[in-house]
A and B are shown apart, each in its own frame.
Chain A
Amino acid sequence: MSEIKLKVEYDEYEDGKRIETELEKLAASPEGAALESLIIGDWGQAYENSSEDIVKALVEHKDRFPALRKLFIGDMSFEECEISWIVQSDLSPLLGAFPELQSLKIQGGNELVLSSLKHDKLEELIIISGGLGKDVLSSIASAKLPNLCKLELYLGVDDYGFDGGLEDVLPLIEPDKFPKLTYLGLKNSEIQDEIALAVANAPILDRLETLDLSLGTLTDEGAEVLLASERIKGLKGIDLHYHYMSEEMVKRWQQSGLPADVSDRQQSDDDEDWRYPSITE
């Protein structure tokens, strides 16, 4: 798959380089016409400038990217910008502009809006954040994505924007919401146990191939219910890596014969009983 990443470094931005210009150049080139995957990295002072301008530019040049199937907005490391400081915007115009799009990946939940999530062909929606707001969760719950196979959401913590609760997550696991869903990730969460409890015996599991509850604060409490579930036995993959389970619980998973990843065990601090998901920034 042909893939290009566009970004503007600190020095380049100070020298006047702008990502919209880089996109225009790409749009006018033969690479753009053949491009299948586009990654938008640091668009220059991403903690100050929102993704609005790059969204506008992409929409404006939509006809120059006929082969585009994968889009990632916000690919930047902690060296470039804190995830919670990335200023996003309303990304739904991208769906309208690219009817052939198969995968949309977003990093940064701050000021993220998905006002109208409607797309006939989208197969993957992935959102990485330190805290995903309940308005975004509500937008996803009322989305019309009949072809969605993979939904992967990094829910995060209250401090960084997860202002909802389990009740905002539950609508996402209604079995007929996304009829083609085979991969469900409700991860990187400070309520990972509650999610595990809610999902462990949910009918949606009958349809899924992979359940991803990794990177969060899963303890023996949630793990126990999952392990006891009949429904998870049909899964092809159970991703629980980065967790706070006990050594005994990890052994039980390893001996269960289930296709579970229980690596990267975390231990809470000695002095505080403090547990946190992997991405909280």
Chain B
Amino acid sequence: MPPALIIPLAGLLGEQPLDLREQAEPWLKTQRSENAPLLRLESPGGSFEIERAIIALGAPDGIACEEDDSLHPYSGRPDPQPMSAVAALRLKESPGRLYHPAQWYRGYCRLLARLRRQGAELHDAEWQNDPEDIAVMTDKRRTQELLAAAGIAIPRPVVDDEPITGYESLRNAMLKARMHRVFVKLASGSAASGVLAYQLHPVTGAEIAMTTIGMERYNARPPIFYNSGKLKRYTDSVDIAAIMNWLYRHGAYAEQWIAKRGHDGRAFDIRQLVVGCKPCHAIARVSQTPITNLHLRSERMSLGEAGLAEEAIRRVGSTAAAAAAVFPRSAVAGIDVLVAEGSDRCYVADVNPFGDLLYGALHEGLDPYEWEMRELFRHQDKLAQRMNET
């Protein structure tokens, strides 16, 4: 197998974090290949201990040298009710709980900044995905902004003259724009966590919010929010406002809810993997609900099985490749593409730095990892060849 080192996060967090060089050096020394080995960061969603350690890293009272917020696109905005590092480390595991999305993201950006600094000192290895890109891709607001600036079609963001900060301002903006159906997403949420499909009736004021987010209210302390795994349907304004205001305090992004193309009466979206600027593996996530990447009531199938013709499949691929190209220092990205019902136009809804976890998907007989290794090193071989020829 060509060389790629997966950097686990556990050793990089905690009391005595390893240096990237310490983590990588022993392995790097064994590499004989002419290709610069690739460093691949492990996805941060692995375990509660890692999640907790990242939240601790984002605390306002951490070590001074660890407070590098240079990769955080909105670092000036203070986090709501921040937790001290000690309090963060004392968090108990509660499956599904959304502990502190804003502080988690701040901690994650600090970790990425440190890895970027240390990576710059390693001259004999390269990032598969640049830590700075990972920081941006992990914030939907910044990602969609960059995609739009590059001319990539995205679902229309909900905007207003004043910034949208919660339930009231979102509703006002929606009514002004006559956009009555929107998706509201936690800016740094992963997969289906922190997504709300929201509809507002312009005449009656009736509203429906569909989401997996659950809320537990207490008498003497603030409510806690969690991912229930099941789709809930809220119609009470008080509940909807509470959830939405909480999302916006932690950073949220709202966009037009585009009616997606259906298969068999269900809607689907697509995860298209792009490696080295070329689209490869793709799966359709078909769901009976508006939130398509839930495992509940959703099915995975190939794009052909979902009813897309060759030409449409090509367009999905090229749209995704164009989106990935907005991050030229990252070789691998999983792009979420929507195909609009009727017009068949493609829109990019999300860019995932760890979007190659597509179990069972094959492209030309190779799984995503095998494909990546072949493509990325073929590219490097070509470069090396050209250099040798000059």
Contacting A at CB under 8 A, from B294-345, are 340-343
Given A9-B259, A14-B178, are A77 and B201 also a contact pair (CB < 8 Å)? no
Contacting A at CB under 8 A, from B185-244, are 199, 201-203, 206, 208, 233
Chain B residues in 8 Å Cβ range of A79: 257, 259-260, 262, 267, 290, 341
Q: Are A77 and B202 in contact (CB under 8 A)?
A: no
Given A7-B342, A9-B342, A47-B180, are A80 and B202 also a contact pair (CB < 8 Å)? no
Given A9-B342, A14-B178, A77-B341, are A82 and B199 also a contact pair (CB < 8 Å)? yes
Q: Are B341 and A48 in contact (CB under 8 A)?
A: no
A78 to B265, CA, bound (A): 9
What total count of A-B pairs have CB within 8 Å? 42
Chain B residues in 8 Å Cβ range of A48: 201-203
State whether the Cβ of A253 lies closer than 8 Å to any Cβ in chain B: no
Max chain A Cβ within 10 angstroms of own Cβ: one of B181, B203, B256, B290: B181
Interface of A is mostly: loop
Contact size range, A? 10 to 19
Q: Nearest Cβ distance between residue A159 and chain B, in whole angstroms?
A: 9
- Looking across the interface, which residue of chain A has its beta carbon closest to that of B260? A79
Q: Nearest Cβ distance between residue B319 and chain A, in whole angstroms?
A: 18
Q: Nearest Cβ distance between residue B229 and chain A, in whole angstroms?
A: 12
> Scoring A residues 67 to 111 as 1 if CB is less than 8 Å from chain B, else 0, what string do you get?
000000000011110100100000000000000000000000000
Q: Nearest Cβ distance between residue A268 and chain B, in whole angstroms?
A: 13
> Scoring A residues 5 to 29 as 1 if CB is less than 8 Å from chain B, else 0, what string do you get?
0010111001000000000000000
> Scoring A residues 40 to 52 as 1 if CB is less than 8 Å from chain B, else 0, what string do you get?
0010010110000
Contacting A at CB under 8 A, from B242-257, are 256-257
Q: Are B290 and A82 in contact (CB under 8 A)?
A: no
Chain A residues in 8 Å Cβ range of B290: 78-79
Q: Are A80 and B180 in contact (CB under 8 A)?
A: no
Contact size range, B? 20 to 34
Q: Nearest Cβ distance between residue A278 and chain B, in whole angstroms?
A: 10
> Scoring A residues 176 to 213 as 1 if CB is less than 8 Å from chain B, else 0, what string do you get?
00000000000000000000000000000000000000
Q: Are A77 and B262 in contact (CB under 8 A)?
A: yes
- Looking across the interface, which residue of chain B has its beta carbon closest to that of A77? B262
Given A9-B342, A14-B178, A47-B180, are A80 and B201 also a contact pair (CB < 8 Å)? no
Chain B residues in 8 Å Cβ range of A47: 180, 201
Q: Nearest Cβ distance between residue A97 and chain B, in whole angstroms?
A: 28
> Scoring B residues 344 to 357 as 1 if CB is less than 8 Å from chain A, else 0, what string do you get?
00000000000000
Chain B residues in 8 Å Cβ range of A42: 259
Max chain B Cβ within 10 angstroms of own Cβ: one of A7, A45, A82, A281: A82
- Looking across the interface, which residue of chain A has its beta carbon closest to that of B261? A79
A78 to B343, CA, bound (A): 17
- Looking across the interface, which residue of chain A has its beta carbon closest to that of B235? A159
Max chain B Cβ within 10 angstroms of own Cβ: one of A9, A48, A79, A85: A79
Q: Nearest Cβ distance between residue B200 and chain A, in whole angstroms?
A: 10
Chain B residues in 8 Å Cβ range of A78: 267, 289-290
Chain B residues in 8 Å Cβ range of A11: 343
Q: Are A80 and B341 in contact (CB under 8 A)?
A: yes
A79 to B338, CA, bound (A): 12
Q: Are B208 and A82 in contact (CB under 8 A)?
A: yes
Q: Nearest Cβ distance between residue B196 and chain A, in whole angstroms?
A: 15
Q: Nearest Cβ distance between residue A213 and chain B, in whole angstroms?
A: 20
Chain A residues in 8 Å Cβ range of B202: 48
Q: Are B203 and A77 in contact (CB under 8 A)?
A: no
A47 to B180, CA, bound (A): 10
Q: Nearest Cβ distance between residue A37 and chain B, in whole angstroms?
A: 18
Given A48-B203, A78-B290, A85-B201, are A10 and B208 also a contact pair (CB < 8 Å)? no
Q: Nearest Cβ distance between residue A186 and chain B, in whole angstroms?
A: 21
Q: Nearest Cβ distance between residue B291 and chain A, in whole angstroms?
A: 11
Give me the interface of B with A, judged by CB distance under 8 Å: 178, 180-181, 199, 201-203, 206, 208, 233, 256-260, 262, 265, 267, 289-290, 340-343
Interface pairs A-B: 6 shortest CB-CB? A79-B259, A80-B259, A79-B267, A9-B342, A79-B260, A77-B262
Q: List 20 A-B contacts (CB under 8 A).
A: A9-B341, A9-B342, A10-B181, A10-B256, A10-B258, A45-B180, A48-B202, A77-B259, A77-B262, A77-B267, A78-B267, A78-B289, A79-B257, A79-B260, A79-B267, A79-B290, A80-B259, A80-B341, A82-B208, A85-B199
20 extra interchain contacts, Cβ-Cβ under 8 A, other than A9-B259, A11-B343? A9-B340, A9-B341, A9-B342, A9-B343, A10-B256, A10-B258, A10-B259, A14-B178, A47-B201, A48-B202, A77-B267, A77-B341, A79-B257, A79-B260, A79-B267, A79-B290, A79-B341, A80-B259, A82-B208, A85-B199
